[in-house]
């Protein structure tokens, strides 16, 4: 990404500016865009939240966030430039009469108003109605809506209906920041630009697929949001299903948003429903208890700030997914995602089938199958596990499993790897919504996820405890062990 054309400056209004997302990701990404001279000179950033802050104290909060998450990267000159863009406005977003205050800080006549909904989905309808009634929007205005959109299919439809009353579809940017990650987009290149995988990407050659999205952090003071949401809705309904579609969809006709959306929807429709009859065998729910991460003791979920001791919300989920189509018949995809795992790790492992016959019995009783490991974060890259002959003059061929390693940071030394939010915020400011989601694919994802949520409710499936610092409850190991498989560790 380099600076090229001129784009109209924006008034970027972040609703929920004092929240975790804003402080941990949005402000940091905006600072990095500033650092690379990618923000238009006149673009301004207006934080809206319900606390009694001022622009001065908001600037201090932003600086503290940068210090906490980006310390070594902060440059005083860039910070000076960046901080001049920031201001703060207190609005209780549930109070329609307070939205008129926006007129005092937003200049929709000379800038594009970009409304970033960085709040819980319960507030999305309020914001749309508030913006509409105060009359600040025009045909150029945009809105960026965070995932999860709603709580289930019904609420998602209700939100999208209200959004459609206020914004035209081409003004709507439904964000999933995983779609801005280089390694997720690289899946398109890996699959559809390499003939090597063209004939092998199916049930003939692949045994099973694993997708792991583990985080070492807990809920980071977000009890109100997270406890109503849970890991299934917070991570799996969106990020993991998006990764799954990129790994398993059919080749799109071209790279247009429409072609890609269409293939993703087809794939989502092919996911075999999980119901109360098979939910216990196909899913695992977990909730962390106190434990240790990298030697530090951390509290359990029920001891987090603001916690309700009776909560049965899951902080971990593992699922066996079956895809009912020609390509993937008989190839399970195992997905898992959790908070307070031993470390942050997002990866996809494509496990190939064993060869039908082994002529190297002196090395391996059973030949280990090939694996393609795609590391999304940290340390983006791709590894291929293959068998090679150990060099030597012995008469027999002795094999060893070795790794062909393509590290992005090593291979693309001259290119900077942009974060998901950096890339997508920039696209929203520039008015390009190609990498954002369509309403239909989100609703299709909810249809599949709702059935799991309903099955858990129907069966009163409680979350299984796991000590922080582990890869979920033991039952998650059993989910694969039942099929004679194991998670990639
Ligand atoms: N955190 C993350 O890493 C990510 C979050 N997201 C999504 O972003 C959204 C927000 O998440 P997150 O930042 O974690 O949540 P937080 O609860 O941390 O932030 C929400 C902010 O909105 C404020 N708020 C709540 N009610 C009102 C109100 N009536 N008027 C004004 N402000 C209000 C909150 O204030 P108060 O604290 O007083 O309640 C808080 O500052 C969610 O949809 C989430 O899925 C997406 C990707 C990553
Ligand atoms: O959407 C969310 O994502 C973050 C994890 O994002 P990552 O880019 O750091 O992998 C997660 O912590 C948060 O709970 C969730 O809302």
The complex scores an ipTM of 0.97
Give me ligand 2 centre to Cα 21, in Å: 8
Within a domain: 429: no
Within a domain: 121: yes
Token pair recorded at residue 428: 């929203």
Whole-number average pLDDT of the chain: 93
Task: Indicate if 376 and 448 belong to the same structural domain.
Answer: yes
Does the annotation place 177 within a ligand binding site? yes
Task: Indicate if 121 and 230 belong to the same structural domain.
Answer: no
Task: Indicate if 16 and 97 belong to the same structural domain.
Answer: yes
CA dihedral 68, 73, 75, 79 (to 10 degrees): -50
- The rounded distance, in Å, linking the Cα atoms of 96 and 313 is 32
Task: Indicate if 165 and 194 belong to the same structural domain.
Answer: no
**What residue's CA is closest to ligand 1, atom 22?**
16
Give me ligand 2 centre to Cα 130, in Å: 28
Q: Is 234 in the pocket of ligand 2 (CB under 6 A)?
A: yes
Please give the pLDDT value at position 3.
52
- Nearest Cα to Cα of residue 135 among 108, 175, 170: 108
Please give the pLDDT value at position 405.
81
Ligand 2 pocket: which of 177, 315, 338 to mutate (most atoms within 8 A of CB): 177
CATH number at residue 405: 3.30.360.10
Token pair recorded at residue 231: 């890991």
Task: Indicate if 320 and 343 belong to the same structural domain.
Answer: yes
Query: Among all residues, which ones are annotated catalytic?
Result: 239
Does the annotation place 372 within a ligand binding site? no
DSSP annotation string for 110-175: TSEEEEEE-S-GGGHHHHHHHHHHHT---TT-EEEEPSS-SSSHHHHHHHHHHHHHHS-GGGEEE-
Task: Indicate if 194 and 245 belong to the same structural domain.
Answer: yes
The residue with greater pLDDT, 71 or 55, is: 55
CATH number at residue 150: 3.40.50.720
Q: Is 347 in the pocket of ligand 1 (CB under 6 A)?
A: no
**What residue's CA is closest to ligand 2, atom 14?**
234
| pLDDT tens sequence across 395-436 | 778 888 888 887 777 777 767 778 899 999 999 999 998 899
Please give the pLDDT value at position 290.
97
* pTM of the complete model: 0.93
- The rounded distance, in Å, linking the Cα atoms of 261 and 439 is 10
Q: Is 347 in the pocket of ligand 2 (CB under 6 A)?
A: no
Does the annotation place 464 within a ligand binding site? no
Task: Indicate if 164 and 276 belong to the same structural domain.
Answer: no
Within a domain: 69: yes
Give every strand in the sheet of 345-352, ordered side by side.
Answer: 399-407, 381-389, 371-377, 345-352, 206-214, 333-338, 316-321, 283-289, 464-467
Within a domain: 426: no
| pLDDT tens sequence across 261-270 | 999 999 999 9
Does the annotation place 93 within a ligand binding site? yes
Q: Is 422 in the pocket of ligand 2 (CB under 6 A)?
A: no
Within a domain: 15: yes
Task: Indicate if 284 and 143 belong to the same structural domain.
Answer: no
State yes or no: pLDDT of 118 exceeds 80: yes
Give me ligand 2 centre to Cα 25, in Å: 9
The ligand with the least distance to the CA atom of 175 is 1
Give me ligand 1 centre to Cα 322, in Å: 34
Domain limits at 122? 10-174
State yes or no: pLDDT of 258 exceeds 60: yes
Does the annotation place 403 within a ligand binding site? no
| pLDDT tens sequence across 178-221 | 999 888 888 999 999 999 888 899 999 999 999 999 999 999 88
| pLDDT tens sequence across 235-253 | 999 999 999 999 999 999 9
CA dihedral 325, 440, 7, 189 (to 10 degrees): -10
Task: Indicate if 203 and 66 belong to the same structural domain.
Answer: no
From 126, 145, 174, give the residue that closes a domain.
Answer: 174
Find where tokens 């819980």 sit: 120
The residue with greater pLDDT, 418 or 175, is: 175
Task: Indicate if 203 and 222 belong to the same structural domain.
Answer: yes
- The rounded distance, in Å, linking the Cα atoms of 93 and 142 is 18
Burial of 69 (0-12, 13-18, 19+ CB in 10 A): middle
Task: Indicate if 145 and 192 belong to the same structural domain.
Answer: no
**What distance lies between CA 473 and its chain's CA centroid?**
22
| pLDDT tens sequence across 319-361 | 999 999 999 999 999 999 999 999 999 999 999 999 999 998 8
| Total domain count, the chain | 2
Of all residues in the chain, the percent with pLDDT exceeding 90 is: 82
Within a domain: 233: yes
Burial of 147 (0-12, 13-18, 19+ CB in 10 A): buried
Give me ligand 2 centre to Cα 419, in Å: 13
**What residue's CA is closest to ligand 2, atom 11?**
235
From 112, 145, 174, give the residue that closes a domain.
Answer: 174
Within a domain: 275: yes
From 110, 145, 174, give the residue that closes a domain.
Answer: 174
**What distance lies between CA 300 and its chain's CA centroid?**
24
**What residue's CA is closest to ligand 2, atom 5?**
215
- The rounded distance, in Å, linking the Cα atoms of 36 and 24 is 19
Does the annotation place 483 within a ligand binding site? no
State yes or no: pLDDT of 293 exceeds 60: yes
Please give the pLDDT value at position 4.
55
From residue 125, give the alpha-carbon distance in Å to each of 95, 117, 416: 12, 10, 37
What ligand 2 atom has the least distance to the C-alpha of 238? Answer: 1
Task: Indicate if 318 and 412 belong to the same structural domain.
Answer: yes
Within a domain: 487: no
**What residue's CA is closest to ligand 2, atom 16?**
234
Burial of 486 (0-12, 13-18, 19+ CB in 10 A): exposed
Please give the pLDDT value at position 72.
76
State yes or no: pLDDT of 2 exceeds 70: no
DSSP annotation string for 201-261: SSTTTEEEEEEEEE-S---TT-HHHHHHHHHIIIIIIIIIHHHHHHHHSPPPSSSSHHHHH
């Amino acid at each position: 990404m380099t600076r090229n054309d001129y784009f109209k400056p924006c008034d970027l209004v972040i609703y929920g500016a004092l929240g975790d997302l804003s402080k941990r990701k949005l402000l940091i990404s905006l600072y990095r865009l500033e650092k690379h001279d990618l923000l238009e000179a006149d673009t301004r950033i207006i934080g809206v939240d319900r606390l009694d802050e001022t622009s001065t104290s908001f600037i201090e909060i932003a600086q503290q966030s940068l210090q906490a998450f980006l310390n070594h990267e902060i440059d005083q000159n860039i910070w000076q430039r960046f901080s001049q863009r920031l201001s703060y406005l207190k609005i209780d977003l549930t109070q329609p009469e307070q939205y008129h205050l926006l007129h005092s800080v937003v200049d929709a006549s000379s800038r594009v108003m970009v409304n970033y909904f960085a709040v819980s989905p319960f507030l999305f309808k309020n914001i749309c109605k508030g913006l509409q009634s105060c009359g600040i929007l025009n045909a150029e205005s945009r809105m960026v809506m965070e995932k999860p959109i709603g709580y289930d299919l019904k609420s998602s439809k209700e939100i999208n209906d209200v959004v459609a009353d206020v914004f035209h579809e081409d003004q709507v940017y439904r964000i999933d920041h995983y779609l801005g990650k280089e390694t997720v987009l690289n899946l398109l290149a890996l699959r559809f630009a390499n003939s090597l995988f063209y004939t092998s990407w199916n049930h003939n050659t692949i045994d099973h697929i694993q997708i792991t999205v583990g985080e070492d952090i807990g809920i980071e003071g977000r009890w109100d949001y997270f406890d109503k949401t849970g890991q299934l809705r917070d991570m799996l309904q969106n990020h993991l299903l998006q990764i799954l579609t990129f790994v398993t969809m059919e080749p799109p006709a071209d790279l247009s948003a429409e072609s890609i959306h269409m293939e993703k929807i087809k794939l989502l429709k092919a996911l075999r429903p999980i119901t109360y009859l098979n939910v216990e065998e196909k899913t695992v729910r977990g909730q962390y208890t106190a434990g240790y991460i990298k030697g530090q003791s951390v509290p359990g979920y029920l001891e987090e700030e603001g916690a309700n001791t009776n909560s049965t919300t899951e902080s971990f989920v593992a699922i066996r997914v079956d895809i009912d189509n020609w390509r993937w018949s008989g190839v399970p995809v195992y997905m898992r995602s959790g908070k307070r795992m031993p470390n942050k790790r997002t990866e996809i492992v494509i496990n190939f089938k064993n060869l039908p016959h082994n002529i190297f019995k002196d090395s391996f009783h059973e030949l280990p199958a090939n694996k393609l490991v795609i590391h999304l974060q940290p340390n983006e890259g791709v590894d291929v596990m293959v068998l090679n002959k150990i060099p030597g003059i012995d008469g027999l061929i002795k094999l060893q499993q070795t790794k062909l390693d393509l590290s992005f940071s090593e291979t693309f030394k001259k290119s900077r790897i942009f974060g998901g939010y950096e890339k997508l915020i920039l696209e929203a400011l520039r008015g390009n919504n190609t990498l954002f989601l369509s309403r239909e694919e989100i609703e299709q994802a909810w249809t599949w996820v709702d059935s799991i949520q309903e099955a858990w409710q129907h069966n009163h499936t409680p979350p299984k405890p796991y000590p922080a610092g582990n890869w979920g409850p033991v039952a998650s190991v059993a989910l694969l062990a039942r099929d004679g498989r194991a998670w990639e560790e």
